[in-house]
Chain A
Amino acid sequence: MNPLLEQFLSEAREFLQGIAEKLMQLENTPDDSYLLVELFRLVHTLKGNSGLFEFPEMTRVLHAGEDLMDAVRDGRVGFSQKLADDLLDAMDFVSVLCDQIEQGGKIEADMTVDSYRLAESLRVLMASQMTSAQTPVVDDAQPASTKDTINFLALNQLPETVRIDAYTRAMAGETLYWVIYTPIENCFFQGEDPFFTARQTPESLWGQISAQEAWPPLAELDAYRSALRFEALSAASREELIEHYRYVEDQIQLIPVDPWSFVIPQGNPNGGPVYEDFVLDALQYMDAGDLTALRSVAETMLQLSNPELWLSSALRWLILLLDTVPPNHQAITILIESLRSLKAPDWSLLTDTLPVVTAVAVAPTIETGSEIKTPVETSSVTRADAKEISEADALALASIFATQLQILQLDDNASWQLGRIKAVAGVLLNCCKAIDDTHAIAAIEEALAASLAAENSAPLIDWLTARSLNVAVVKPVAEPIAEEPPIGLKTLDEAAPMPTVEEITPELVSADDVPKFGRRPDESTAAKSLKVDQAKIDRLMNLIGEIVVSKNALPYLAQRAEEQFGVRELSREIKAQYAVINRIAEEMQDAIMQVRMMPVSFVFQRFPRLVRDISRKLGKEVHLVLEGEETEADKNIIEALADPLIHIVRNSLDHGLELPDVRRAAGKPASGTLTIKANQEGDQVIIEIIDDGKGIDPEVIKRKAYEKNIIDEATLERMSDLEAVNLIFAAGFSTAEVVSDLSGRGVGMDVVRTAVEKVNGAIQLDSQVGKGTRIRISLPLSMAVTKVMIIESDDQVFGMPMDHVVEIVRIPVSELTSIKQSLTTVFRGKIVALKSLNSLLGLPAEPIVNSDGEVAVLIARLGNEVVGLIVDDFHETIDVIQKPLTGVLAGLGAYSGSALMGDGSVLMILNVRGIV
């Protein structure tokens, strides 16, 4: 996309957002003239911008909107809800067009009709609401151009050659105009140079300057008061002339000049009656119609005469008139008669004036619709979806293998090569176990041993290569996969940033220009901010991630230096260097994080519109309060926040706030208040959504939860009110009595909770019946770096996000009790359910009990509950850059992502909610 279009789209979105905001503010203060002017300005500028491109659909609608807002601004049309609705519709339409342009570079053909409809409806609205029905009549009166005003005197001053040229052109059908340009006195103070304008008169044949008045003594002269008049004879069309003088139209006169007016013999009037004979002869020839003879006589006469004479001039004109096709006999006669008196020919005697060769207006060629292309592209059927499951599995396997091969083929000298080999082998083994390919398992283990021994990946590569050939032969479906994995599995050598997994709503797309720096490439701000492509920042993120991983290899190196080679001194130096690099890397990481920060206003800004539309639909009156919009958090967090927040707001409007009548009856103001505020607390961003609606009745929730088997009877009785109301976040819970069009789309608040937890956030609700509800979401400022604890189970290591870790304890086996087949223990006076990580992950091994008869238990927080995970051992905590799982792995609920360790091995990060 060209930069100008990119700029346009990004700015258009800002404008659309601004327009929507202003419209909504106007609903509260419809008389705010500042807002009206601003609103007009935005629509107007956007329309202007759209005109730079060939987007007639967009310009059409915006133009209608602009006219409407102009009328509103001038008070010709009153502001109304209907008007706001229609304009918002129109802006939504424009927004859709922007999306289409961004995605496909053009506007879809079927938008044309809609654009006409929308523009028309805006115009109808405007016409119907005109307070005073009078549209200003544009008086386009042109300066008078009657023949009476022809300035013969001036024509007189034209050199004969110019007049001959003008006459010839006029006879050929051109209309010649006499332009009189009388600039106004103060025109210099309007930045004008009338002389320059006059000099540039199109197709000017001649021009002259005259003074409008006598000049005062030099000392009294005001040089800056314009007192000149400019005149020009032009062969240009009236339209061209008016265009040229368009800024001074009121200061010019355009007078069409009759061609005969140019025929003015000039010169020394000597001779007098000497020419009487010639005149008589000439008239005789005329009577006889012998123009050829007349011309010959005239020429002879001309040769005998002094060219300076009036007679000579007249003869030259006579010859010219005779040469004109067709010759005008009457005109010739008049000219001959003038020779008798030596006075200028009296052209007023001429009855047939112009030998009219009226210019035939060229009919504008109508654009035929032949170029309209009908979109015929039918998307080819996607192949992966159509296959059977076994084939899909085969495809997935093939692509996994292909990726492993690529991993192995990466630079062999990396210090983490061994970890990488192990990781690859692990993947291959697990794959083969999954398909019960025992032959392969044995072969892989063999190759792995060989690779580890040789400290290079060749044996494994060999196995993989052989395998892929085999697979290709046995299962032809898998064949093309090696080159082009269709599953969306990113190959590692694509340094491109991992795509973010979250669905991005159309409005969100504009957010790609993160961070929200200043928006104008204007010098005054350019020095302070840059607009940076997201991909560039993602690249920085990836690079710093790699630095972090690489630097984490240094302690391993130090350890090896000491233990394997026994050089303690070197080991210490490596560690010292590591400390330095570590500090720089951390600072750099922090700096990059800062760049990724964006304000929550990015999400908040859509709420005024959302709340307005929904409350209108529900017939509720809602006052929206937004606070702390400037609070910043990582872009990914902000984006992940958008959908849950919208859901919560919808819920509040739908179920929380009451109808005006109900509210009044309850002694509350008819209009409900919905507050959405953000603020930063430590390294968390807190977002609260507060309504003063009817609140949530814990008893109703408990009963429902019980009915839906979400809680048992014992829990029901034990539960506090606070715990009860938070049950609405439980899976499969929906409180609405009637499933409304708005919130109950089979998506409950559990989806909100899941989304929040996905970005390591937490959500909590408290509510008072009759008073209102408050939902509090806490989110990390940044999700790029995750602190994880490494835990071990069945000889494998996993990462557990520290956010989930409450405590790690060792509990004697004797203190474990089985209640209803589930293991529990009493921990700090509370009953905690225990689960074995091995069994959760489907690993067949039993938990390891240490020599003291204890098991290792990780107490994990799960929302507001805790659960104990029995593992084999705990290790250190580390900072990792977590990458989302992509491709086939994306479907694995047990893991939230993966991270690369300093030794090159891959650490899978557990998703507690996904496994418990």
Chain B
Amino acid sequence: MAIEYKKNQAVFVDVVSVDEAETLLDWLQNKPNAKIDLGRCSHLHPSNLQVLLAAKVSIAVWPKDINLRAWLESILTITQAV
């Protein structure tokens, strides 16, 4: 399982593939205040990223992967700032 869904948090693990996006979208629709843990995530397919952006989620834990974090920060922080 590339996304572990907890009570109010989705934990992204390793590579989160394109197939996860629909489930993620459904889950976030029901949990508008959910947070995302990207700590153990090494990559996520942009479809998932789009869901996170549209849902304006807040990131509980940033990825340990520095490269991924840098890329994600460039858009996720901006969106959150808005």
Contact = CB atoms under 8 A, between A and B. Distances in A.
A195 interface: yes
A223 interface: yes
A228 B51 CA distance: 11
B58 interface: no
A207 interface: yes
B54 interface: yes
Contacts of B24: 223
Interface stretch (A209-217, A677-685, A702-710): A209-217
B29 A209 contact: no
B9 interface: no
Given A194-B46, A218-B55, A228-B49, A209 B25 contact: no
Contacts of B79: 211
Contacts of B72: 209
Max count, chain B CB within 10 A of own CB: residue among A199, A206, A217, A226: A199
A209 B50 contact: no
Contacts of A221: 25, 50-51, 54
A145 interface: no
Interface in A162-219: 183, 188, 193-196, 198-199, 206-211, 215-219
A224 interface: yes
Contact of A195 (B49, B53, B55): B49
B46 A228 contact: yes
Nearest to A157: B74
A227 interface: yes
Nearest to B46: A195
B21 A223 contact: yes
A297 to B, nearest CB: 36
A199 B68 contact: yes
Contacts of B43: 195-196, 199
A223 B28 CA distance: 12
B49 A207 contact: no
Contacts of B50: 215, 221, 223, 226-228
A188 B32 CA distance: 26
Contact of B45 (A195, A198, A219): A195
Nearest to A198: B71
Interface in B45-79: 45-51, 53-56, 67-68, 70-72, 74-75, 79
Contact of B47 (A206, A211, A218, A223): A223
Given A199-B67, A221-B25, A215 B54 contact: yes
Nearest to B57: A218
Nearest to B25: A223
B51 A208 contact: no
A219 to B, nearest CB: 6
Given A199-B67, A218-B28, A223 B75 contact: no
A210 B77 CA distance: 11
A183 B24 CA distance: 22
B3 interface: no
B49, B50, B53, B74: which has the most chain A beta carbons within 10 Å? B50
Interface residue tally of chain A, by bracket?
20 to 34
Nearest to A194: B46
Contacts of B71: 195, 198-199, 207-209
Nearest to A183: B46
Quick one: which of B18, B43, B72, B79 has the most chain A CB within 10 A?
A: B18
From A193, A207, A217, residue with most partner B Cβ within 10 Å: A193
B75 A195 contact: no
B4 interface: no
B75 A208 contact: yes
A570 B46 CA distance: 86
Nearest to A219: B29
Given A188-B47, A208-B75, A218-B54, A224 B21 contact: yes
A241 to B, nearest CB: 17
| Chain B interface category by residue count | 20 to 34
Contacts of B75: 208-211, 228
Given A208-B74, A209-B72, A195 B44 contact: yes
A207 B70 contact: yes
Nearest to B29: A218
Contact of B54 (A188, A196, A199, A216): A216
A718 B29 CA distance: 107
Given A207-B74, A209-B72, A221-B25, A193 B54 contact: no
A216 B51 CA distance: 10
Nearest to A211: B53
A231 to B, nearest CB: 9
Contacts of B56: 215
Interface string B2-32: 0000000000000000100110110011001
A154 to B, nearest CB: 10
Contacts of B28: 218
Nearest to A215: B54
A157 B55 CA distance: 24
B31 to A, nearest CB: 11
Interface string A715-741: 000000000000000000000000000
Interface in A218-264: 218-219, 221, 223-224, 226-228
A408 B48 CA distance: 83
Contacts of B70: 206-207
B74 to A, nearest CB: 4
Most buried by A among B45, B49, B55: B45
Nearest to B24: A223
B39 to A, nearest CB: 18
B44 A223 contact: no
Contacts of B54: 215-218, 221
A226 B53 CA distance: 12
Contacts of A196: 43, 45
Contacts of B49: 195, 209, 228
A188 B29 CA distance: 22
A226 B68 contact: no
A183 B49 CA distance: 14
A207 B67 CA distance: 9
Nearest to B76: A209
A107 B70 CA distance: 55
Contacts of A216: 54
Contacts of B74: 157, 207-210
A647 B29 CA distance: 82
B22 to A, nearest CB: 6
B78 to A, nearest CB: 8
A248 to B, nearest CB: 13
A712 B42 CA distance: 99
B55 A226 contact: no
Nearest to A208: B74
Contacts of A226: 46-47, 50
Interface in A831-846: none
A157 B56 CA distance: 22
B55 A193 contact: no
Interface centre among A157, A209, A216, A217, by most B CB within 10 Å?
Answer: A209
A218 B54 CA distance: 6
A218 to B, nearest CB: 5
Of the listed residues A194, A215, A219, the one surrounded by the most CB atoms of chain B closer than 10 A to its CB is A215
Contacts of B68: 199
Contacts of A215: 50, 53-54, 56
A219 B72 CA distance: 23
Contacts of A218: 25, 28-29, 32, 51, 54-55
7 contacts: A195-B43, A195-B49, A206-B70, A209-B74, A211-B79, A223-B47, A226-B50
Interface of A: 157, 183, 188, 193-196, 198-199, 206-211, 215-219, 221, 223-224, 226-228
Given A221-B50, A223-B48, 6 more contacts: A196-B43, A211-B75, A218-B25, A218-B32, A224-B21, A228-B46
Interface of B: 18, 21-22, 24-25, 28-29, 32, 43-51, 53-56, 67-68, 70-72, 74-75, 79
The 6 closest A-B pairs by CB, nearest first: A208-B74, A215-B54, A209-B75, A223-B21, A195-B46, A221-B54
